[in-house]
Structure 1
Amino acid sequence: MKRYYTIGMAGHIDHGKTTLTKALTNMDTDRLKEEKERAISIEPGYAPLVMGEDMEVSVVDVPGHEKFIRQMIAGVAGIDAVLLIIAADEGVMPQTKEHLRILQLLGVKQGMIVFTKAEGLEEEMEELLKEDIESYAKDTFLENSPVYFVDSISNRGIENLKEDIHMMLEKTEERKPGSSFRMPIDQSFTVKGQGTVVRGTVFNGKVEEGDVLRLLPQQKEARVRQLQVHHEKRTSSRAGQRTALNLGGIEHTEIHRGDVLVKGSYPVTKTIDVALTPVDLYKLELKQRSPIKIHIGTSEIYGTIVFFDRNSLLPGETDTVLCQIRLDEKVVAERNDRFILRRPTPVETIGGGTVIDPYGEKYRFGSETIQALAKKKEGTPEERIIFLLENDLSLTTKELAEKTSLSGEEVKQFGAESEKIRELNGWWVKEEEVVLRLDDLLNKLYAYHEEFPLRPGKDIAELLKEIPHREEPARLLIDHYVERRKIMKRESYVSLPDYTPAYPKAWARRMEQVEQRITKAGIEVPDFFETCREAGLKETEIMELRSFLLRTTMTALDEKHLINKSEVEKAAVRMRAASGEAFTLQEAKQELNLSRKYLVPLLELFDRMQLTKRSENKRIWK
């Protein structure tokens, strides 16, 4: 299954983000005339980064200039990992620090630190630059992250960086597409002969050609005529992919950056309760009901901040504050969505955090409201359980009880009442996860059967390692699907319900020739490997065929020879009838008329099959 990721390039202006993006992707993301003329990025640029057939990666090159922080925030919304770019000839600069704080507040958890313009840089200077950035990265998601020195012109370190990006993403959990489709829009325009086109990064779910979507907050409908991922036509797109949608039934002038295309239900609101974490960058007191700008997804909306336990927020305060944002316009915001809060004038970043409740109401000033917000922040029991299962995928009743401050009985009660979670013999998983894992499992088995048509199925131990759960819940999920006949389990193998091992079409005739030749030979069978090579089979097919025959109609006479099981049975019956309780090698030779080349291995096979037991120069029937 292909995995999809979006990575961001962040950092101070003129530190080489766009040049590095081009070195990695072979694409110039500065597309506007003004960007070319001024040699700076004004809008986020996007480019595909080739990472092999199993992974599709979008690179977002965000503007570095302080005047374009809005565009920077819009660009990094929805990224899975980031490269913090620092020019080796300048070091850490103001936007380096601000971008790092913003990324931290937006919940980015994976990243690398990359020093550009490093051609000819001395080792001693590299160490000084490392020490400098390590102090700024302390207590952030980039603490202990790898540091790279590259040069985009000479290509120093580019291939190594690219390889390590792939390794980082291999360890990064991709976005789960299970929830309803949501794509914040960052560009809207018209294409001659096509009509309205919008671009964005898919936050949640999946979209397909023909889907009817709703544009929020306008509540207008639009149909997906076509879609592209990095200029390549597709029939569908999913969470984590950079996507362009050609829409019917709506004009591009009706759509603005910050609007959101959705399927299903998403909150549209003007009042949100939030948990705000201030940063150590702002310099002026933020007073009660001060004007603010909030960035959510690709939206930038003005409003006012309302405190319930203070009259102002002072520079240097970094403890999380429970408060409310009252907006001038409607915004699409869901519980736990990340946001950035900035002061409009003088412009500075105040902090960021998460949405507690997208449907905030008017509350009284005082401790009671703070307590209520704190309780709301924790969520309902069902919400808390679901939130934990989104991160850990599967937990026992005891583990959920410990993490939610509920009793085991309460966990069982709320779990039984919820349609969104399921219990599997003491383990809890989201119903959505049960469906998602089944789809993934069916796809894996289909691909496995295509690749190995002679095998009885995928080994259950191997399959368990590929399910992103601990072994016990992974095994319970498999048993759950087996019970509902979605998959089939034979001994230690799992397969699709209607699957039967069979010779692959490309090799069927040659494999049948080998089987027929061995069968016709009776006991005096030819060398299996030579027979296969004479039939034109390759080494891989030979070993697959050998394993298949040993599981079905044949057994090993010795290392080089396979023999039909029925021939062994006939020889045993014939020998038992002629010999009585025991027989010698000479008696067996006389009865079966075989040379020692075949007779000795056959009698040893009798021993291995526990039909006989050797005693001195005789074999005794069991």
Structure 2
Amino acid sequence: MRVVATAGHVDHGKSTLVRALTGMEPDRWAEERRRGMTIDLGFAWTTLPGLPEPVAFVDVPGHERFVTQMLAGVGPVPATMFVVAADSGWMPQSTEHLDALDALGVRDGLLVVTRSDLADPELARDEALEHLGESSLGRLPAVCVSGATGSGLPELRSALSALVAGLPAPDLDADVRLWVDRAFTVRGAGTVVTGTLGAGTIRVGDELALGARTVTVRGLQALGESVDPVCAVARVALNLRGVGLDEIGRGDALTTPGKWLRGDVIDVRVGPPRGSDVAADLPQQVMLHVGSAAVAARVRPLPSEPGATRLVRLTLHEPLPLRPGDHALLRDPGAHRVLGGVTVLDVRPPSLRRRGAARVRAGELATTEGVPDAHGELARRRLMRRDDLVALGASVPDDVPSAAGWLVDPAWLSSLAPRLVEAVARHTEEQPLDAGLPAKAAAQALDLPDPRLLDLVLAEPGASSVVAAGGRVRARDAGGLPDGVRKAVAAVRADLEDAPFAAPEAHRLAELGLRTRELGAAVKAGALLKVGDGIYLAPDAADVAVGRLADLPSPFTLSEARQALGTTRRVAVPLLEYLARQGRTRRDDEGRHALR
């Protein structure tokens, strides 16, 4: 199935044409038929010669009071049947419709001059072609018809077949984003929504995201028939489970879960309105129209050279699921005019708090084409979550460094290596007794959100002089202790050479300058062994003690152990407790000790 929007005229010439073409009534409301004016979106479909599937039509209102409804209908539709009446010619609403189609970048269409039985259609045709030629549609094929008499309908059917056959093939594997244009309830079924599926495939049982929640597709219809699956491009009705009618409506979007980023701050490029070579000055408050949504937005211009486009930051009244490259339009609802077409450039832009940040940001965006590109996104952001990159519509390249669910720009990663080396050196200078810079502090110094990303930095050639160990990063060739502490520890080791279990008294340690921090650093560096509070021995003291205790009959008493070790009770008690904690000795019910 393909979908075509019918736009351009205000009266029933357009609706009469759709009715004659399809045999269906596009005006759903009695008020529309009574007034002879399309007020809301209408829907119809028919088969065309040479096409394997039906073609659906979205009939949009023409009156200026209903421009929002009109934009909701044409926003998701790839082609248009632009209707002008022979007896009234080009109308102000024709201009507004064309401005909207041009801003949205619609390029495929067909001009139809209707009511040709009431006036010579050639003048209206030529005038319309002149206007259309100045837009993104260009010079379209034209057909003159009469919905009342049927004249020209065979030619119209053939022209529509050619239009539809030439449309680009949709991506059936794309992530779904269905803009809702109608919501209602069906007795016994619950909530039903309709929309134009521009890409992707939907199946019964699929879960789709509606904002932050998930709903289930319990039924599908296309052109009044139950189907499963339904593939783009198609008019589709979804029967939803898990959502009430008051929770969904026109302008909402159903999306593939986890595949779209919803943003309320976006950076965009605004093109000039049709007929102008210069982008319009934008009011502070505008309406952003995208898909079937119309959302109020606040404008913050970004510094840029005067010209055909403007770079703008939009703060939306409510978040929308958007991607770089999406097309939308800005409209001034007060002045009833289209301000220009929009190309979305970034849906997760950085904050602009620092002085000069807006100008820097404008420079970054000036080279952005609005096409999802992994390397470009990473170059601008430096690092981002893998899921966020996928949600932007970009594929994750195999050559991008990644860890802990994050992707890192290779160039920025290389620049982090010397910063890490500098941070480690600065920490060693400020805290010489620490065994290295804690991993969490190292990550903070590099503006990394997760310490696990340090492994990527350490793998860079520029970080070869530092190494991670025990949750810290230290210099690879670091001795581990400052010179003064190392000399003091050497003096303790010299005291222990002849009496390995004569642990130095507190006054001796203080005399050598070994206070709590210095002793803690010596133990971390493996230069001393702490077996109890205030008891420090050589690193191999436990092995030496086990060797001496092995010569005793088993089990042995504390007194026997003390004598074998040549030490005092002050040392023997915590030493035996240390050996027991290490699993090298055990104690029986009578308080005697034995080697395991």
Does TM, normalized by the shorter one, top 0.5? Answer: yes
1:277 to 266, 271, 280: 271
What is the distance in 1 between the residues matched to 2:339 and 2:86?
28
CA contact (8 A) 2:270 2:341 kept: yes
The answer to whether the Cα contact below 8 Å between 1:5 and 1:79 also exists between their aligned partners in 2 is no
- The alignment partner of 1:369 has SS state of helix
Give the CA deviation at 1:288: 6.5
Q: 1:231 to 1:266 in 2, by over 3 A?
A: same
Paired position in structure 2 for 1:182: 177
- Letter of the structure 2 residue corresponding to residue 180 of structure 1: D
Contact 2:105 2:327 (8 Å CA) reproduced: yes
Query: Residues 269 and 333 of structure 1 are in contact (CA less than 8 Å); yes or no, is this contact kept in structure 2?
Result: yes
- The residue number in structure 2 matching 1:347 is 336
Return closer, same or farther for 1:334/1:163 CA change in 2, 3 Å cut-off.
Answer: same
Q: Secondary structure at the match of 1:164?
A: helix
C-alpha distance in 2 between matches for 1:211 and 1:252? 19
Considering only CA atoms, is the larger Rg found in Structure 1 or Structure 2? Answer: 2
In 1, Cα distance between equivalents of 2:119 and 2:27: 27
**Paired residues of 2:269 and 2:344 also in contact (CA < 8 A):** yes
Identity level (%): 31
Instruction: Determine which of 417, 422, 433 is the counterpart of 2:399.
Output: 417
Alignment of 1:25 with 2:17, yes or no, is no
Give, in whole Å, the separation in 1 of the partners of 2:363 and 2:192.
46
Shift in CA distance, 114/379, structure 1 to aligned 2, threshold 3 Å: closer
Q: Does 1:156 align with 2:148?
A: no
Contact 1:86–1:116 (CA<8 Å) still a contact in 2? yes
Partner of 1:57: 55
In structure 2, the partner of 1:168 is: 163
Q: 1:301: which partner in 2?
A: 295
How far apart are residue 275 of structure 1 and its match? 1.0
Quick one: distance in 2 between partners of 1:68 and 1:244? 23
CA distance in 2, matches of 1:318, 1:24: 44
- The 3 A distance-change label for structure 1 pair 239 and 121 is same
Alpha-carbon distance, 1:102 to partner: 1.1
Where in structure 2 are the equivalents of 1:42-81 lying within 5 Å? Answer: 42-51=39-48, 54-81=52-79
Q: Sort the Cα spacing of 1:380 and 1:98 in 2 relative to 1 into closer, same or farther, 3 A.
A: closer
**Match in the other structure for 1:103:** 101
Q: For the residues of structure 2 that align with 1:418 and 1:289, how far apart are their CA atoms?
A: 41
1:382 offset after TM fit, Å?
4.5
2:140 to 122, 145, 150: 145
* Match 1:226 to one of 202, 205, 219: 219
**Secondary structure of 1:184's partner?**
strand
CA–CA distance in 1 between the matches of 2:370 and 2:151? Answer: 48
Correspondence 1:207 to 2:202 = yes
- 1:337 is matched with 326
Normalization by structure 2: what TM-score? 0.59
What is the SS of the residue equivalent to 2:55? strand
SS at match of 2:94: helix
Residue 350 of structure 2: SS of its match in structure 1?
coil
TM superposition shift of 1:192: 1.0
Matches within 5 A, 1:420-499: none
Cα gap change, 1:76 to 1:325, in 2 (>3 Å):
same
Q: Equivalents in 2 of 1:67, 1:281: separation in Å?
A: 23
| Contact map agreement 1:307 1:365 (CA 8 A) in 2 | no
Equivalent-residue separation in structure 2 for 1:236 and 1:221 (angstroms) = 19
In structure 2, C-alpha distance between the alignment counterparts of 1:34 and 1:381, rounded to whole Å: 49
**In structure 2, what is the equivalent of residue 356 of structure 1?**
345
Aligned AA (1:103): L
Find the counterpart in structure 1 of residue 553 from structure 2.
none
- Label 1:252 to 1:80 Cα distance change in 2 as closer, same or farther (>3 A): same
CA distance in 2, matches of 1:205, 1:381: 20
Equivalent residue number for residue 322 of structure 1: 311
Letter in 1 for 2:366: A
Judged with a 3 Å threshold, the aligned counterparts in structure 2 of structure 1 residues 141 and 328 are, in CA distance, closer, same or farther, namely closer
Q: Aligned to 1:245, which of 227, 238, 246?
A: 238
| Residue in 1 that maps onto 2:111 | 113
- Partner deviation per Cα, 1:467-523 (whole Å, 9 max, x = no partner): xxxxxxxxxxxxxxxxxxxxxxxxxxxxxxxxxxxxxxxxxxxxxxxxxxxxxxxxx
**CA displacement at 1:269 relative to structure 2:** 0.8
Give the conservation status (yes or no) of the 8 Å contact 1:293–1:341.
yes
| SS of residue paired to 1:278 | coil
SS at match of 2:149: coil
Q: Which residue of 2 aligns with 1:135?
A: 130
Whether 1:370 and 2:370 are equivalent positions in the alignment is no
* Per-residue Cα deviation, 1:345-389 (whole angstroms, up to 9, x for no partner): 23322112211111233334754322111233365765789xxxx
Q: Give, in whole Å, the separation in 2 of the partners of 1:37 and 1:327.
A: 38
Q: In 1, are the aligned partners of 2:324 and 2:346 still within 8 Å (CA)?
A: yes
Rounded to whole Å, the distance in 2 between the matches of 1:44 and 1:320 is 32
In structure 2, distance between residues paired with 1:380 and 1:85: 35
**Per-residue Cα deviation, 1:147-202 (whole angstroms, up to 9, x for no partner):** 11100000010111011111221122132112112211111111111111111111
Q: Distance in 2 between matches of 1:10 and 1:273?
A: 30
Residue pair 1:184, 1:203 contacting (<8 A) in 2 also: no
SS at match of 2:294: strand
8 Å contact kept, 1:15–1:85: no
State the SS of the aligned residue for 1:165: helix
Verify the 8 A CA contact 1:91 1:129 in the aligned structure 2: yes
Shift in CA distance, 380/175, structure 1 to aligned 2, threshold 3 Å: closer
Cα distance, 1:319–1:286 mapped onto 2, change above 3 Å:
closer
Aligned residue for 1:589? none
Q: In structure 1, the residue corresponding to 2:110 is in which secondary structure?
A: strand
1:17 shift after superposition: 1.4
Deviations 1:418-474 (A, max 9, x none): 89xxxxxxxxxxxxxxxxxxxxxxxxxxxxxxxxxxxxxxxxxxxxxxxxxxxxxxx
Give me the CA root mean square deviation: 2.6
Q: Secondary structure of 1:377's match?
A: coil
Stretch moving more, 30-39 or 206-215: 30-39
In the alignment, the residues of structure 2 paired with residue 345 and residue 361 of structure 1 have an alpha-carbon distance, to the nearest angstrom, of 31
Aligned twin of 1:36 = 33
> Which stretches in structure 1 are left out of the alignment for 5+ residues?
312-316, 386-413, 420-622
Q: Does 1:235 align with 2:228?
A: yes
Instruction: Please give the alpha-carbon distance, in whole angstroms, between the structure 2 residues aligned to 1:96 and 1:383.
Output: 42
Whole-Å Cα distance in 2 between the matches of residues 90 and 23 of structure 1? 20
TM-score, structure 1 normalization = 0.57
Partner in structure 1 of residue 3 of structure 2: 6
Which residue pairs with 1:389 in the alignment? none
Judge conservation of contact 1:111–1:141 (CA < 8 Å) in 2. Answer: no
Quickly say closer, same or farther: Cα 1:287–1:222, change in 2 above 3 A: same
Classify 1:108/1:89 alpha carbon distance in 2 versus 1 (closer, same or farther; 3 Å): same
Change (3 A) 1:288 1:164: closer
Distance in 1 (alpha carbons) for counterparts of 2:111 and 2:372 = 39
Whichever residue aligns with residue 296 of structure 2, its letter is Y
CA drift of 1:88 comes to 0.5
Shift of 1:205: 0.9
8 Å Cα contact 1:280/1:318 also seen in 2: no
Compute the displacement of 1:318 (Å).
Answer: 7.5
Residues 203 and 228, structure 2, Cα contact 8 Å, conserved in 1: yes
Instruction: Report the residue type matching 1:269 in the other structure.
Output: G
Code of the aligned partner of 1:259:
D
